[in-house]
Amino acid sequence: MNDMTKPPLGIPQTAPIKSATFTDPINAEIRRAAATGIYDIRGGGAKRKVPHFDDLLFLGASISRYPLEGYREKCETKVTLGTRFAKNPIELDIPITIAGMSFGALSGPAKEALGRGANAAGTSTTTGDGGMTPEERGHSSKLVYQYLPSRYGMNPDDLRKADAIEVVVGQGAKPGGGGMLLGQKISDRVAEMRNLPKGIDQRSACRHPDWTGPDDLEIKILELREITGWRVPIYIKVAGARPYYDTTLAVKAGADVVVLDGMQGGTAATQDVFIENVGQPTLACIRPAVQALQDMGMHRKVQLIVSGGIRTGADVAKAMALGADAVAIGTAALIALGDNDPRWEAEYNALGTTAGAYDDWHEGKDPAGITTQDPELMARFDPIAGGRRLSNYLKVMTLEAQTIARACGKNHLHNLEPEDMCALTVEASAMSGVPLAGTNWVPGRGGDY
Amino acid sequence: MQTLDMATTELREVNATLQSQKADTNQRAWEIVNPKGSHAIACGLDGPIEVTVRGSTGYYCGGMNKEATVHIVGSAGPGVAENMMSGTVIIDGDASQYAGATGHGGLLVIKGNASSRCGISMKGIDIVVHGNIGHMSAFMAQSGNLVVLGDAGDALGDSCYEARFFVRGKVKSLGADCEEKEMRPEHIEILKDLLERAGADAKPEEFTRYGSARKLYNFNIDNAAAY
Ligand SMILES: Cc1cc2nc3c(=O)[nH]c(=O)nc-3n(C[C@H](O)[C@H](O)[C@H](O)COP(=O)(O)O)c2cc1C
């Protein structure tokens, strides 16, 4: 008998092809949304591939540039932040700072570990949405106090204890979005610090309650300076949205330091749609911000801290070569503490994920005991050992950046410059203003040197 | 009474002088003349002193106050007594936007009217307004009491948490998740005390209480239209 449903033997079949548009993860997300009726909330930064520091390379020394001797000739790494108005600028041994991460999102011991690690490496840490804890004040010799729209835990005593104040206007993971801390993580202590009922889903505001726009911000900064006697630097943190104008306005409003957080920047918890679809890649933000500073004659007078996807000493060197004075790390610091470590793989699997992909930080079930308020999980994390790992990592990154700087003939990381680099892709070249490798061409500009 | 004349004294010196008065100071009474709408007057005070500002102030007068009494004999610009922790701020005239924003404690008395966003994000402060308040007042208010002898504008108490609102006059509209509540004896007590301390001539029984319906405390997709 002839089976008409089967093609005759020997005729090749169409291979099953999955859609490049409707991918497995997209389809899974459609099914998840349909089943639950709620958008996906997660921690971390953008997971999509965007042009990044990997798309830049250093040229190294040649006949026209001579290198410095590794381990013998000095390559300085010190940076001073807040030289514009503050009586007491912050002096750091290394240009890598720890970004603001809230107590609430992180456990008390995790905050302590950040302080210990940063201290040992000679750098600063930053509070977050949720106020200042004694753990972090006690263990961070240089602590930046965030002034956020929510004003949770904001009080003049802590303000006066801070070594710098960071007015948060935006965050790279969610330019225009507020904070989020779901009920599972509102423990008694977190609730008390935030003056909120326990167990509620807590969405912090996206706009400051008592100022709007750059003219108000200038007056707000005046008030903060008056309360702190003009002693400490005032940073303004902006998301990588309109870096040229945001930097210009931050400087106009009186910032000592501009913190610029690109779209890959991590968050404790935000809608996935926000993380992946709003903001500009870090790489694309730096040149416009530096240009804004240069146009005002303020480059190096108002310092620029760049964050969002900084992982290695090479990233640090590249950000600085583009004109940043320092960088900040969030996600990388958590990984150094032990977040997403494969040693917890069985537990990640039980949560339906795998080490390296775990991002449900808002649920408070972190097997590594870092992004949780659960006493049992928290107890797994040793703040002394964690601090040690963080300081090791910070020192390695610094050594890596120095290695590159010496190879480029620089005796200070600040002397790195765009001319030390080439871009691997047309996109990276256009975004960073660094010529495409093998050419003297920057898309959108003339080809002359 | 010590006098600081802002026609001849810089803001920095005015504030530094007041901020350095600690609990044991014997110079408790201060007067600021010629404020001329300057910003950030008498902010960050940290002791039980009494400051009288003769004239109107700009932004953030009495900001982050602790323990001090600041009396503005005039009107106040935006963000008066913002993030106050304790003490008292009294305004004889009107207050602009965000009066008492994010305040954690203390008493703010506004003898005239308050503009929009009065008590926004309040976290424990008590605010008594003798006149009316503007729209979006007590937005995201967390705790504390807002008392209004006059009327309230649109969207009172939008997305509020555990703060209480007492309004004697009309409320133009309530914000999302804010509802009228029963006035129980303990509320009458709270109100009586606040009215007394604010020098307000009104009876607690004339007020209606509003507060959170607590329906938006945990996310539910069927409530999405409320946002
Ligand atoms: C767990 C976590 C919590 C965060 N909390 C805050 C916060 O409270 N305030 C803030 O301005 N940024 C917050 N951020 C963002 C960081 O300050 C920083 O902008 C970002 O992590 C930098 O990007 P990176 O993670 O790629 O290093 C948080 C980030 C993480 C990962």
Average pLDDT, chain B: 95
Of B66, B79, B222, the CB nearest to A156: B66
How much is the pTM? 0.95
Ligand 1 site, CB within 6 A: A 43, 45, 99-102, 105-106, 128-129, 146, 168, 171-172, 237, 261, 264-268, 307-310, 329-332, 361, 371
Residue among A118, A113, A120 at smallest CA distance from A144: A118
Please give the sequence-ordered ranges of beta strands (E in DSSP) within chain B, or none if there are none: 2-5, 29-33, 50-54, 69-73, 88-91, 107-110, 123-129, 143-148, 164-167, 178-181, 208-212
Q: With CA atoms as reference, report the closest residue to A241 among A194, A274, A270.
A: A274
Q: Do A205 and B140 touch (CB under 8 A)?
A: yes
Dump the DSSP string for A333-386.
HHHHHTTT-GGGHHHHHHTT--TTT---GGGT--TTSSS---HHHHTT--HHHH
Strand-pairing partners, residue B126, are B107, B145
Predicted pLDDT of residue A5: 67
CA of B227: which chain A residue's CA is closest?
A203
Residue B119 main-chain phi, psi, to 5 deg: 70, 20
Percent of chain B with pLDDT over 90: 91
Q: Tokens 């010629």 identify what position?
A: B34
Cβ within 8 Å, pair B43-A226: yes
Q: Residue A197: which of B46, B82, B161 has the nearest Cβ?
A: B161
Q: How far is B42 from chain A (nearest CA, A)?
A: 9
Q: How many whole angstroms from A43 Cα to the centroid of ligand 1?
A: 10
The fold adopted by the segment(s) A73-432 is TIM Barrel (3.20.20)
pLDDT in tens, chain A (449 residues): 556 666 677 888 899 999 999 999 999 999 999 998 888 899 999 999 999 999 999 999 999 889 999 888 999 999 999 999 999 999 999 999 999 999 889 999 999 999 999 999 999 999 998 889 998 899 999 999 999 999 999 999 999 999 999 999 999 999 998 877 777 677 888 888 888 888 787 778 899 999 999 999 999 999 999 999 999 999 999 999 999 999 999 999 999 999 999 999 999 999 999 999 999 999 999 999 999 999 999 999 999 999 999 999 999 999 999 999 999 999 999 999 999 999 999 999 999 999 999 999 988 999 999 999 999 999 999 999 999 999 999 999 999 999 999 999 999 999 999 999 999 999 999 999 999 999 999 998 854 44
Domain ranges of chain A: 73-432
CA distance A374 to chain B (A): 20
Residues 173-192 of B with CB under 8 A from A: none
Q: Express each pLDDT in B55-82 by its tens digit.
A: 999 999 999 999 999 999 999 999 999 9
Q: What is the pLDDT of residues B17-65, one digit of tens each?
A: 999 997 788 889 999 999 999 999 999 999 999 999 999 999 999 999 9
| Residue A305 burial class via C-beta count within 10 angstroms: exposed 0-12, middle 13-18, buried 19 and up | buried
Q: Where are the domains of chain B?
A: 2-216
What is the ipTM, given to two decimal places? 0.96
CB proximity list for A273: less than 8 A, separation 6 or greater:
A39, A40
Among B43, B97, B219, beta carbon nearest to A223 = B43
Identify the CATH class of B2-216. mainly beta
Using the predicted structure, report yes or no on whether residue B225 has a pLDDT greater than 90.
Answer: no
Residue of chain B whose alpha carbon sits nearest to that of A215 = B59
Residues of chain A with C-beta less than 8 angstroms from the C-beta of B163? none
Pull the structure tokens for residue B224: 């999405």
Q: How confident is the model at residue B107 (pLDDT cuts 50, 70, 90)?
A: very high
Strand, coil or helix: B101: coil
Pocket test for ligand 1, best of A132, A166, A208, A267 (most atoms within 8 A of CB): A267
Longest Cα pair distance anywhere in chain B, in angstroms? 61
CB atoms within 10 A of CB B59: 28
Chain A partners of B59 at a C-beta cutoff of 8 Å? 216, 219-220, 223
Contact A220 B117 (CB under 8 A): no
Query: CB–CB of B101 and A159 under 8 A?
Result: no
Nearest CA in chain A to B124: A195
CB contact under 8 A, B85 and A155: yes
pLDDT at A449: 42
**Residue A275 CA to ligand 1 centre (angstroms):** 12
Cβ within 8 Å of residue A380, ≥6 positions away: A367, A368, A369
Enumerate chain A positions whose Cβ falls within 8 A of a Cβ in B. 36-38, 150-151, 154-157, 159-160, 183, 194-197, 199-201, 205, 209-211, 216, 219-220, 222-223, 226-230
For tokens 């991002």, the residue is A359
**Nearest one of A385, A389, A366 to A376, comparing CA atoms:** A366
Residue A416 tokens, joined: 């790195």
